Amino acid sequence: MRPSRPIQVLYRESLKDMTIPERRKLYQAWISASKDQLRHQIVVVLGHFLRARRTMEDIRKETDLRALQQSHIIGVTTSGLARITDLLSRLNSKVLICEEASEVLEAHTLITLLPSIEHLLLIGDHQQLRPHIASWDLSSENHAGKRYSFDMSLFERLVLPPHSDGLPKLPFSTLENQRRMHPSISSLIRSTLYPQLKDCGPVAEYPPVSGMRKRLFWLDHRHHEDESDEDQIMATSHSNTYEVGMTVALAKHLISQGVYESDEIAILTPYLGQLRKLRQALGSVFAVTISERDIGDLENEGLELEPLRLSKTSLLKALRLSTVDNFQGEEAKVVIISLVRSNAANKVGFLRTSNRINVLLSRAKHGQYILGNSETARTVPMWEKVITLLMEDDNIGPQLELCCVRHPEKVIPVAEVDDFVTLSPEGGCNELCSRRLEACGHRCLKCCHAPHLHSATECLEPCQKAVSGCDEHACPLPCFEKCVKKCTVEVPDVELPCGHVS
């Protein structure tokens, strides 16, 4: 067999005179040459593109710089600032204001300190939520990670410097007036974290929560949480079936009063597992809205949400459901809180830090209702103080007391989901309404209910109105339905005009 000739020789030969290995060798050479040519063309084009892009970026930066130089105030996120540090450095800004500074990672705050900055104003509350970090091993809540404390903001470090540094506290000013919570609700954080807090504005004049005996109450129960891995202290899948049922029943009761729109009621819980179960239970009755951050957290944990068919109109008045961490800065007229944790080991989990407890207890305006096991919560010092305050005002107990608008003197204690159905089936008490209906004048035969439900009640009494064209027979339909157009009652032995008898 003839040995394969060099590729330079094959370029000059005819294919008919080549062996199969030579043809294959020539083919591979052609492919390689084509690739080299294309690769060279790509490199040349890419070079043109990169130069053009740099030119466009320079033009855009100059345009942005001119616009920014004409501005008195520039707003930017810490991530956005990091991307355009070179541009912002050319502005020679003197003052930097960082809002919600206690939620910003220390590294993110430090990168905002451009060389020209002379005055830094940090605004926040170090007693509320800390910055979120991906690894719990590096957080101050973890004993091993306390030396790193990556979840401690620069704001908190300056206000409360470590004692080992021997540094004095930096001077700071504190806002002492609150205009959100009723005084009975604000007392929980005033007695624990903010001793100088003052109630201002109309907060003391808030109306009582309709349908409830008290505006602040802890429903204390001993129903254990659903089974989970007790060793996973930071697990996000904890849930409590009893609290799911009671939360849904209480939300139904409050909305049935006709005083609150569904978007004025918020349901908070620390765990994504409970959030998912609450959403499933509430979704069949109400329009429910969940923040994008909570949806993202659920997806990251593999807890998928079943799609709900909701119109845009219903979402405008949707019941708000959220985890504690994603509700900071929000508020609602009435807040229902599901603490979830209830176990023999008395492990509190997420809500063992005063920061989260502070956020949890300071979102409500008119009323706040907590569902949880006080024995489990007592192991945390701040919860112990809160429970003591609630006990002093008789705002904690094994039964939640409802109130009937028409019979305010009647006490309606509920401790189980079935109690709502038995004792307050229509949002009132279990006595008969007995008021007359405006449309027909008949007595209402339903259980006592809120005024707005009375006008929508359908009367089931016989109509008794005479059918059109018949003076002898009444309409056979219930009172709330439209009367029949003609009488259909059969009358025997009627003599017809022709003389026959029907």
DSSP string, 244-260: HHHHHHHHHHHHTTSSS
- On whether residue 449 sits in a domain, the answer given is no
Domain membership flag for residue 454: no
Q: Residue 62: give the domain boundaries.
A: 7-67
Contact yes or no for 337/363 (Cβ under 8 A): no
Tens of pLDDT, residue by residue over 233-258, are 444 579 999 999 999 999 999 998 88
Of 347 and 296, more confident: 347
Which residues, including other chains, have CB under 8 Å from residue 373's CB and lie 6 or more apart? 220, 221, 222, 223, 339, 341, 342
In a domain, 94, yes or no: yes
- Same domain? For 334 and 189 the reply is yes
Q: Same structural domain for residues 158 and 216?
A: no
Are residue 13 and residue 106 in the same domain, yes or no? no
Contact assessment for residue 133 and residue 112, using Cβ atoms and an 8 Å cutoff? no
Residue where the block lists tokens 């019979």: 407
pLDDT class of 455 with cuts at 50, 70, 90: low
- The residue written with tokens 């199969």 in the block is 20
Confidence of residue 162 (pLDDT cuts 50, 70, 90): low
Q: State whether 346 and 473 are in the same domain.
A: no
Phi-psi group of 100: left, alpha or beta (phi > 0 → left; psi -120 to 50 → alpha; rest → beta): left
Taking the C-alpha atoms of residue 88 and residue 355, their distance in angstroms, rounded to an integer, is: 34
Residues 286 and 317 in one domain: yes
Residue 15 has pLDDT above 90, yes or no: no
Higher pLDDT, 417 or 306: 417
Residue with tokens 């591979």: 28
Question: How many residues would you count in the chain?
Answer: 502
Residues 360 and 256 grouped into a single domain:
yes
State the pairing for strand pair 119-123/447-449.
unpaired
Ordered alpha helix ranges (H), 361-476: 374-377, 381-392, 417-423, 451-454
Last residue of a domain, one of 22, 46, 67: 67
119 Cβ neighbours under 8 A, 6+ residues apart:
94, 95, 96
Its sign, for the CA torsion 84, 86, 87, 93, is positive
Closest CA to 356 of 404, 323, 391: 323
337: β partners: 268, 370
Contact 187, 389 (CB under 8 A): yes
Domain edge (last residue) among 142, 165, 188: 165
The mean predicted confidence, pLDDT, of the chain is: 85
Q: Which range is most confident: 78-87, 285-294, 299-308, 474-483?
A: 78-87
Band (230; pLDDT cuts 50, 70, 90): very low
Could you tell me if 369 and 475 lie in one domain?
Answer: no
Query: What CATH number is associated with residue 100?
Result: 3.40.50.300
Question: In this structure, are residues 106 and 153 in contact, taking their beta carbons and an 8 Å threshold?
Answer: yes
Give the chain's end-to-end CA distance (angstroms, integer).
118
Residues 250, 251, 253, 255, Cα dihedral to 10° = 160
Q: Which of 67-76, 307-316, 403-412 has the lowest mean pLDDT?
A: 307-316
Using CA atoms, how far apart are residues 447 and 427, in angstroms rounded to an integer? 9
pLDDT digits (tens, 9 = 90+) for 301-354: 776 666 554 433 344 467 899 999 899 889 999 999 999 999 999 999 889 999
Closest C-alpha to 444, from 452, 455, 436: 436
172 within some domain: no
Judge contact between 446 and 457, C-beta under 8 A.
yes
Domain count, the chain: 4
Q: 33 CB contacts (<8 Å, ≥6 apart)?
A: none
Residue 15 lies in a domain: yes
Rounded-to-integer distance, Cα 158 and Cα 447, Å: 60
| DSSP single-letter state for residue 368 | E
Is 453 a domain residue? no
CA atoms of 130 and 134, how far apart (whole Å)? 13
Alpha-carbon span 372 to 241, nearest angstrom: 12
Whole-model pTM over 0.85: no
**8 A C-beta contact, residue 359 and residue 193:** no
Domain-terminating residue out of 144, 165, 186: 165
Structural domain includes residue 446: no
Per cent of the chain over pLDDT 70 is 82
- Residue among 50, 110, 116 at smallest CA distance from 82: 110
Are residues 43 and 107 both part of a single domain?
no
Same domain, 252 and 345: yes
* Inside any domain, residue 59: yes
Please tell me whether residues 476 and 418 are part of one structural domain.
Answer: no
Mean pLDDT of 104-129: 92
| Backbone torsions φ then ψ of 3, nearest 5 degrees | -65, 155
User: Do 214 and 262 have their domain in common?
Assistant: yes
In a shared domain, residues 86 and 63: no
Amino acid at 401: E
**The pLDDT of residue 172:** 85
For the chain, the C-alpha Rg in angstroms (whole number) is 36
Two tokens, residue 21: 């290995």
